Structure 1
């Protein structure tokens, strides 16, 4: 598994703590992870954790902010390098599935962690920038008539809900084949559910 966080030259210790927090929050859950657990896992002192993050909730908030921003940047790079809703859709689905293979802890944290339980003042993950990009791509498809006119939330759910569910099945070890073996059938089936058969 690759390391998701780029080493912060100004504070490599901060990067180590974020990496440990991600791993432990996925493995044990937020509430079952203590500051001593983080110290032991990261090799960073208690003082360093409090200096950079304030407390465990501050650490969780920083972790979420870092994840959301990195996901957003990766998605924007895909959007800017492709044209047309179908091409962008397929590229984003490929990215979601490959990302799940490269960074299973990140995807598990995004899909399974009950963020509002310990970050009550944060926005719901589904209203964060990365998820909004997915919805915006479908909305743009409706406007360009590549996607048939329907409620954009329904269309986005049809387009990406099945993909995220397949990722969950992969993370749970329930797929009979490798995740990428489902890419073509999944994208074509989901696209057929939303495409405009008579583009004008």
Structure 2
């Protein structure tokens, strides 16, 4: 195995282990013990436990945003795109609760602030795909002309809150029910 391949394997192993142990035992000792990777390698690749967390957050967020972007790009129209975006987010949560939990909890539980620029830069191309789709529909007059950040709050806010509550085990929160109810309600807030 080449040095590059070994390095990729070490990074993958640490990220996978971090997702397995979070939130219960997210410590350096747990990372090295469970992954079999040395403390030196962890520091070499990530600089710190928080650096590892930032990389994992980025990997999980990339998967969620890729799923949402692909969903809206397949949509027949703006309303269908909103429906697909909501269903994609909730489907990601159902399929990968560990990743959804990390996305929703890690920024509050760990100090990812020093990595904010790196995280934002990694998200930028995926958000550009989503925002490009939204702007196209704004230009066509099918989505209300609002600041993109406000569109994101109207589109993602309700879905993220359902996700947080479902992950926390709040009684009465059902992702399938949310996937049936939320798309039309969210569309009403965004449609022109």
Q: TM-score, normalised by structure 2?
A: 0.77
Compared CA separation, residues 178 and 72, structure 1 to 2 (3 A): closer
Matched, 1:18 2:12: no
Question: How many residues get paired?
Answer: 185
Matches within 5 A, 1:97-136: 97-114=90-107, 117-123=111-117, 128-129=123-124, 130-131=126-127, 133-136=129-132
Other-structure match for 1:174: 170
Instruction: Label 1:111 to 1:156 Cα distance change in 2 as closer, same or farther (>3 A).
Output: same
Q: Which residue of 2 aligns with 1:139?
A: 135
Q: Distance in 1 between matches of 2:128 and 2:147?
A: 15
TM-superposed deviation, 1:191: 0.6
Q: CA RMSD in A?
A: 3.0
SS of the residue corresponding to residue 82 of structure 1 reads coil
TM superposition shift of 1:186? 0.8
- Give the drift of 1:142: 1.7
If each structure's helix is expressed as a fraction of its own residues, which one has the higher value? 2
Q: Compute the displacement of 1:90 (Å).
A: 1.3
The farther-off stretch of 159-168 and 135-144 is: 135-144
Asked whether 1:184 is paired with 2:180, we answer yes
**Mapped partners of 1:59, 1:150: distance in 2:** 36
Q: Deviations over 1:19-42 (max 9, x none)?
A: 1213334335xxxx3321112232
CA offset digits 1:119-172 (Å, max 9, x no partner): 414239688334554444333322111123334333332222111111111111
Structure 2 gap segments, 5+ residues each:
none
Residue aligning to 1:3? none
Aligned partners of 1:126 and 1:132 also within 8 Å:
no
- Worse-superposed segment, 42-51 or 11-20: 42-51
- SS of 2:87's equivalent in the other structure is helix
Gaps of 5+ in 1: 1-8
Change (3 A) 1:89 1:64: same
Q: Is it true that 1:27 corresponds to 2:20 in the alignment? A: no
